[in-house]
Structure 1
């Protein structure tokens, strides 16, 4: 591509030299035509170059039309001069012949110029077509690159979406696994605590039962002791009651006996008193022995 551009620039330079030699433009014409061969910018080089070629082709075509018009006018002048010179006197024949040769030479020069310009137009047209094709190729490459870039961006978006979805699924699965693991650990800890609590409750219950049994044994012993004590107390009371009853009975018997004795023997004297003392001593000795 660079070599093609270099060849085109060479042809343009040659065209400028030939045009200046064959038909030098005026300052106004040159400014209007725009004979400028400054290099286009790198950003729009191909587009500017194509536009420049098209402008040069249009300029050359204008020059060709002008040259053809001039050649046609010269031919008309030559025909007019030839018909006029045929009617003129012999003195002017020589001058007329020179004028005709000059006109024919000028016409030939114009025709040569036209041929050269047409050849240049043909070359420039070919160069323009090449440039247009290059621009089309470059635009196609740019479009292809843009399409590839767009496809790559689309693929990247799809891949990013897939990756995001995959990562989300992985994170969700990890969270579920962590939740399941934590739940299992909590369940294990709860079971462990429950077992320990149950064990402690069983131990406490066993200790409580043992304490209750001990208290029951103590209470039974206490009840038995109280019962024995009450039994003994009752027996003692009963014994005392019986003893009191016997005592009262004896005292009653003794009282009645004393009364009988006193009533029957007031006159018995000392013997009777001695016998009463002996009886009283005997009774008191029996009572002490019973106690």
Structure 2
């Protein structure tokens, strides 16, 4: 009974205390990509620990190494055995269902959200084909609108969209900065990261980790693209462009350059902190990997 208690306590620690501390840390501003990976690792660790907790609370729960053997017997001998022992299929279902259902719940949300977002992006892409005009010199689509805005539409119909007001009001350098920012979203397939985080938040909406991960992931994704854009332009140029398009909106399932936490991002660009030391980044990444693997080691200790 010690195993389930340890796993349940670990789930509470990861789900409640760690996000409270991480959301208030300052180092993610110095290395948003590292912080993003750590948030993803914490979500994986929480799901795995909850799944293993349920597994060990089942009447047939046993050492996790037995799952593979049970699965093999389930395939090879699904019927009852002659001495009246539990049927292979029933035993396999009792052992594997807790893990399977816990993992399938966020996966189902990811599928639902992905299909819905794909439909919205497809409708918006069709609209852009009708009312937008291609701008090959910019590598973008220009949409007539009185408010400066810039966003990207991910997926198969990926494209960067600028409003005509943005093209008129921004300098050439600012346009290049915004385009670099939006293309970083597309190249990094950030819509999949965002969808996975949103699926976790929908599946475990009462858990503080879910709410914090959704909020921080949105900001960190923007910071990652800010860092990419300043490789080819100045931070002041990008900050000025972001302020120009800060009031511009974007359709759902799109990434806007003036999106989450514009003020904090502008302050970060204009007052950059020293980058996180490589040793510190490696230590944080190892911590994330350890957090994801720890439930397994707790479960698969010495037999």
Q: What TM-score, normalized by structure 2, do the two folds share? A: 0.26
Q: Using CA pairs under 8 Å that are at least 6 residues apart, name the structure with larger relative contact order, 1 or 2.
A: 2
Larger % of helix: which?
1
More strand by share: 2
